[in-house]
Structure 1
Amino acid sequence: MAAKFSSVEKEKILQDAKLHARQYRRELGLGDEPIADIFDLIERQGIILVRYPSPSDKLSAMIAREANEYLIFINSKMSLGHQIFSAAHELHHYRYDKDNLQVIACNPLSESSDPAELMADFFAGEFLMPEETVRVTWNRFGKIVRILPIHVITMACTFRVSFTAMLYRLLKLKLITGPVFGKLKKLSKPENEELLTKYFNYICTAELIKPTQKELPKAFIEAANYNYANGLVSYKKIESLLNPWDKTPEDIGIEYNYGID
C-alpha cells in the first residue's frame, strides 16, 4: 500500500530522521565519513546479525527482540547494496523503537504507509550518506554538463550503497533532476544488469549490485570456538549446525580433536 503523507508530515518525518542519524553517528563516533562496514558496526552493538537467503522475495530484513537480546535478519538474496541499506534501516528500529519492538518485518524503500518505516528509510539514507559529505563529494566532479552513470556509480562506491539508493539520495538533495533520475534509473532494471555490472567494475567492484547468499554470524563463530575449546559441545554437533551454511568446522578455525570427540 502506498504511503499517504502530506508534504508537511513527510518533511517532519524527514527532519526527525536526519536528527536521529546525526545523533547516532555522534554516539558511535563516526563523524561524517562513509561507513566502511555496516554489518560489523551492528555486531559491535551486541546485536546478533544473520544474513541468509529468505524464501520470500518480499522480505528484505527484520528485527526481533527477546528480553534484552536483539537479532537482525537480512535477506542475502538481495544485492549487497540493498542489504547495507536494509541494515541501516533496522539499526534505526534498534536504536529508536526499542520500547515497542518485538518483531518487525521490513521492506525498505517500498513506500510503506507506516510512519515508522518511512522514518527508518529516511534515517538509513542520512546515516549512510550524510548530506554535507554527499555534497562535498559530488562537488569534486566540478560543473557537470551531462550527468552520466559513472558519476552516480563513483558516489555509490564511495558510500558503499546500491546504485538505486545513491540515485534517490542525489535526487532528494536536488543534486540531480527528476528527468536525469528517471533516465539513469532504467539502468537498474534486470535487462540492464550486465551493463551496470560492467560499469561498476570500471570504478570499484560489482559486489554492491550482487547478492551475497549465506554469511555466517560472527557471534556464532565466537560461541562455537569457545564452547568447543571448553569441551561444552562436540565436533559433530558443530558440524551439523554449520551444514545450513555450507561450512565445515575447519572453515571457522575448529580442528577435530581426537582427545575430546
Structure 2
Amino acid sequence: MRRLTMQQAEMLASKFRTENGLGQAEPVSVKTLLRKLQITAMYRPLSADSYGISCKSKTGKMFMLINSNSTRGRQHFTIAHEFYHLYFDENPTPHMCCGGASVEEKNADIFASVLLLPKEGVYAMLGKEEILQRKVKLATVLRIEQMFQVSRSMLLIRLRDIGVISENERQAMQSIPVKESALEYGYDRSLYVSANEGVTIGDFGEKARILFEEGRISEGHYLELLKMISDGREDN
C-alpha cells in the first residue's frame, strides 16, 4: 500500500461520511458511529504508549479496545484511526496502535485527521483575516477543538496541513498550556483528561450469551466475559 496523499485521504473520509449519513462539515460523534456500525468497543487502561487495537472476524464482526488512560480527545483520534484499518486497510490484521511509522499507520493517522476535522467545517469557523494572514487566534483554536472534540496537537497539525498556519505558528501555539487556556476562556477541561474507564459500547453481553448457548465458549469463559462488563459499565 502506498502512502495516501492528503487529497486521497480527504476523498476516503468524504466517502466514509456519505456512506454513514454524515454531512461533509459536521463533527463526528465517534460513540454514536460505533453503535451505528455495530462495532463492539471497550475502554480499558493500557500502557502509555498503546492507544488502542481493532480487529475484524471472518464473518465481519468488528471490535475495538481503546486506552481509557488517554485523554478524551486522543481517544476520538484513536477510534477514527481504527476506522481506517477496519474499512480501508488492505490487510486489516489485529494490531496495537502505538504511533508506529509504517505506511498504513501513517495512512490511518491522515485519515483520522481529515475525518474528524473536515476542511469545510474548519474553514467555516475561521475569520476572513485569520485565513488571509495565516494567524489563527487562540480563542478560535479553542472553539474548533471543542466543536470537533479533538486534541490541541491534532488540530494544530491539521491547521498547518491545510495552510492556515505556518509550522512556526504551530509550534508557538503548541507551547500554550492546554488545560489552563481552556479554563481561561470558560471551557471545561473534560476534553483534555483521561475518561471512559470501564465503558463498553455495543451488545457485548448479548454476543457472549449467544456464544455460550451455541457451545462456542465454556461457562467459565462466559462468566469471565460477564465479569468484564460488570467491572465496567455499559455506555447507553
Task: State the TM-score bracket (shorter-chain normalisation).
Answer: 0.7 to 0.9
Q: Deviations over 1:182-232 (max 9, x none)?
A: 111112xxxx355134146x14x31111110414213257639x99xxxxx
Which residue in 2 is equivalent to 1:6? none
Which residue in 2 is equivalent to 1:38? 30
**Contact (CA 8 Å) 1:13, 1:115: kept in 2 or not?**
no
Q: Is 1:120 matched up with 2:112?
A: no
Distance 1:88 1:240 in 2: 28
Residue 149 of structure 2 is aligned with which of 151, 160, 179? 160
**Contact (CA 8 Å) 1:51, 1:217: kept in 2 or not?**
yes
Distance 1:241 1:118 in 2: 32
Which residue in 2 is equivalent to 1:259? none
Question: Measured at CA, do residues 102 and 167 of structure 1 come closer, stay the same or move farther in structure 2, by a change above 3 Å?
Answer: same
Residue 134 of structure 1 is aligned with which of 116, 119, 122? 122
Which residue in 1 is equivalent to 2:197? 214
**Contact (CA 8 Å) 1:79, 1:212: kept in 2 or not?**
yes
Which residue in 1 is equivalent to 2:183? 198
Q: How does 1:1-261 map to 2 (within 5 A)?
A: 12-54=4-46, 56-68=47-59, 69-97=61-89, 100-107=91-98, 110=99, 112-138=100-126, 141-144=127-130, 147-187=136-176, 192=177, 194-199=179-184, 202-203=186-187, 205-220=188-203, 223=206, 240-245=227-232
Normalising by structure 1, we get a TM-score of 0.73
Root mean square deviation, CA, Å: 3.0
Question: 1:151 is aligned with what amino acid?
Answer: T
Distance 2:196 2:22 in 1: 28
Partner SS for 1:62: strand
Q: Deviations over 1:49-85 (max 9, x none)?
A: 111111x111011112232221111101111001001
**Contact (CA 8 Å) 1:60, 1:83: kept in 2 or not?**
yes
Rg larger for: 1
Q: Deviations over 1:111-142 (max 9, x none)?
A: x431111111111111111112211221xx34
Partner SS for 2:181: helix
Question: Measured at CA, do residues 218 and 13 of structure 1 come closer, stay the same or move farther in structure 2, by a change above 3 Å?
Answer: same
Question: 2:171 is aligned with what amino acid?
Answer: G
**Contact (CA 8 Å) 1:61, 1:74: kept in 2 or not?**
yes
Normalising by structure 2, we get a TM-score of 0.80
How far is the alpha carbon of 1:239 from its aligned partner?
7.7
**Contact (CA 8 Å) 2:56, 2:63: kept in 1 or not?**
yes
Unaligned runs of 5+ in 2: 211-218
**Contact (CA 8 Å) 2:14, 2:115: kept in 1 or not?**
yes
Question: Measured at CA, do residues 199 and 78 of structure 1 come closer, stay the same or move farther in structure 2, by a change above 3 Å?
Answer: farther
Partner SS for 2:62: strand
Question: Measured at CA, do residues 196 and 221 of structure 1 come closer, stay the same or move farther in structure 2, by a change above 3 Å?
Answer: farther
Distance 2:235 2:49 in 1: 31
Question: Measured at CA, do residues 240 and 133 of structure 1 come closer, stay the same or move farther in structure 2, by a change above 3 Å?
Answer: closer
Distance 1:75 1:199 in 2: 28
Question: Measured at CA, do residues 36 and 135 of structure 1 come closer, stay the same or move farther in structure 2, by a change above 3 Å?
Answer: same
Q: Deviations over 1:226-259 (max 9, x none)?
A: 99xxxxx9xxx698444532x5xxx899xxxxxx
Partner SS for 2:129: coil
